[in-house]
Amino acid sequence: MGVPFDDFNFNRQILNAIADAGYTETTPIQEKAFPPILNGQDVMGIAQTGTGKTAAYVLPILMKLKYAQGNDARALILSPTRELAMQIEENIRSFAANTDLRTVLLYGGLGPKTQIENLKKGVDIIVATPGRYMDLYLDGHIHTKALQILVLDEADKMMDMGFMPQINRILEVVPRKRQNLLFSATMSDKIQMLSANFLEFPTVIEVTPQATPAQTVTQVIYHVPNVKTKINLLKKLLDRNEEIKKLIIFTKTRVAAEDVYKFLVRKFDDQQVKVLHANKGQNTRINSINSFKNDDIKILVATDVASRGIDVSDVSHVINFDVPIVIEDYVHRIGRTGRAYQSGEAITFCNPAEEYYVGKIEKLIRQKIPVLSMPGDVFNEETPYEERQEQAREIDMQKRRDDPDFKGAFHEKKERVEKAPKLSHKQQLSKKHGKPKTTRGKAIRKRK
């Protein structure tokens, strides 16, 4: 286990706040990150979700800033989603409770008026999504001169979500002399490129082999032919499993999330289930997360917008209704359970077109996920024609991705359609003799 927080150079105000929050020992990422961050070094941290990563950088930042000073932020923490930004800000408020440090939270999806008013009151730490931060900077509400520390949290997700143009613009406007901290759950080639541009001789901290799920999470897969059978299996697991105390069900799309939600509402009523995806309004999303955290609801259905930054420590189960196409999201999804050294279970439903991604996930996490047989009493629906076609098209695309010379069934069909139709002997003759006549006619008209 970890070492006591007293072993580090934290002042009494911070140590009391840590104790009040119920923490006694550091996690591995905290133990390794505290000394170099307190020492002013650039740090690159690779840590799976649920390992205490936020506190690993928040506590040293609070220690370095100590007390409120001036009007402009001295630390900026950038996050890919508003949910994660809210989570970080909550952590800061908890750990800075005994200090006078001021934190302002900036994110899109609602008017900026209140956020601008909060900035005007004076700020020490800004927690923001990149787009909203840049908007308020360009409108003249943010001054960067005082900035000393810049943090990119969940940097891999920021890159996946296309935030790099905003990140690069922010890097252009903040002071060159600053401390940089970059945290990511995976170490991809993109992340290495970003770190080369962003960090100066960084201390690299990797607390587990990259993209390894928490050891406390049990993982299993069911091979399920289609959506209807997935619903039948979900029903059976929910009927049977007394151990499911708190469950997140992840889907690939908003439409799938709504479909699963509607099914669950019929089964449980809307007092026990909420749905979370990008089409939901900001207040609805906040209320759904808070209801889930406070045990007002048992089941949360979500797209990957919710797979990071929701720090709910007692999620007993995660069900991947669909296998994620961005394979790194698998690690983040199942990281919602088995947090804070508790055990959890991650169950994945996989149709024939998703087996390709499971193979890639197993390569990423460097382990085989055990396959369970479908329970005998789950009704196996026949796959509808459209869904069968969609799966075949997806499998073709996967094969073509791995082998550019592969000619799939759909590819050949397309080629046949594109070829000119075969003409009869009569049509060929009329085509042969008809063309010059038209051309000559045009030429005569032109001369006139």
3-state SS assignment for residue 299: strand
Helix (H) or strand (E) holding 344: strand 344-350
Q: Are strands 75-78 and 149-152 parallel, antiparallel or unpaired?
A: parallel
pLDDT at 33 (0 to 100): 93
pLDDT digits (tens, 9 = 90+) for 112-147: 999 999 999 999 999 999 999 999 999 999 999 999
* CB atoms closer than 10 angstroms to residue 165: 11
Dihedral (CA of 171, 174, 178, 180) sign: negative
Task: Check whether 448 has a pLDDT greater than 50.
Answer: no
pLDDT digits (tens, 9 = 90+) for 181-190: 999 877 777 7
pLDDT at 36 (0 to 100): 95
pLDDT bracket for residue 332 (50, 70, 90): confident
What are the respective helix, strand and coil percentages of the chain, to the nearest 5? 45, 15, 40
Helix (H) or strand (E) holding 47: none
pLDDT at 42 (0 to 100): 94
Query: Which residue did the predictor score with more confidence, 412 or 323?
Result: 323
Burial environment of residue 5 by CB neighbours within 10 A (0 to 12, 13 to 18, 19 or more): buried
- Reported CATH class of domain 217-381: alpha beta
Choice among 199-203, 206-210, 395-399 with the minimum mean pLDDT? 206-210
Helix (H) or strand (E) holding 403: none
Task: Check whether 445 has a pLDDT greater than 80.
Answer: no
pLDDT at 153 (0 to 100): 92
- CATH number of the 5-206 domain: 3.40.50.300
pLDDT at 413 (0 to 100): 45
- CA terminus-to-terminus distance, the chain: 97
Angle of helix 282-293 relative to helix 82-95, nearest 10 degrees? 50
pLDDT at 418 (0 to 100): 47
pLDDT bracket for residue 444 (50, 70, 90): very low
pLDDT digits (tens, 9 = 90+) for 346-361: 999 999 999 999 999 9
pLDDT digits (tens, 9 = 90+) for 159-173: 877 888 888 899 999
Query: Which residue did the predictor score with more confidence, 307 or 304?
Result: 304
pLDDT at 282 (0 to 100): 66
Average pLDDT over residues 256-280: 85
pLDDT digits (tens, 9 = 90+) for 71-114: 999 999 999 888 889 889 999 999 999 999 999 999 988 889 99
pLDDT at 311 (0 to 100): 64
pLDDT bracket for residue 24 (50, 70, 90): confident
Mean residue pLDDT of the chain comes to 84
Average pLDDT over residues 262-273: 85
* 8 A C-beta contact, residue 318 and residue 348: no
Q: CA of 212: how far to CAs of 119, 189, 215, 314, in Å?
A: 39, 17, 8, 20
pLDDT at 415 (0 to 100): 43
Of the chain, the percentage scoring pLDDT greater than 90 comes to: 46
pLDDT at 430 (0 to 100): 60
pLDDT at 304 (0 to 100): 78
Angle at CA of residue 140, ends 138 and 141, nearest 5°: 110
* CB atoms closer than 10 angstroms to residue 161: 16
pLDDT at 139 (0 to 100): 94
Burial environment of residue 216 by CB neighbours within 10 A (0 to 12, 13 to 18, 19 or more): middle
Burial environment of residue 302 by CB neighbours within 10 A (0 to 12, 13 to 18, 19 or more): buried
pLDDT digits (tens, 9 = 90+) for 414-427: 444 445 556 665 66
Residues in the chain: 448
- Report the alpha-carbon distance of residue 445 to residue 448 in Å, rounded: 5
Query: Which residue did the predictor score with more confidence, 109 or 389?
Result: 389
pLDDT at 356 (0 to 100): 93
Domain boundaries for CATH 3.40.50.300 within the chain: 5-206, 217-381
pTM (two decimals): 0.60
Structure tokens at 328: 């790194």
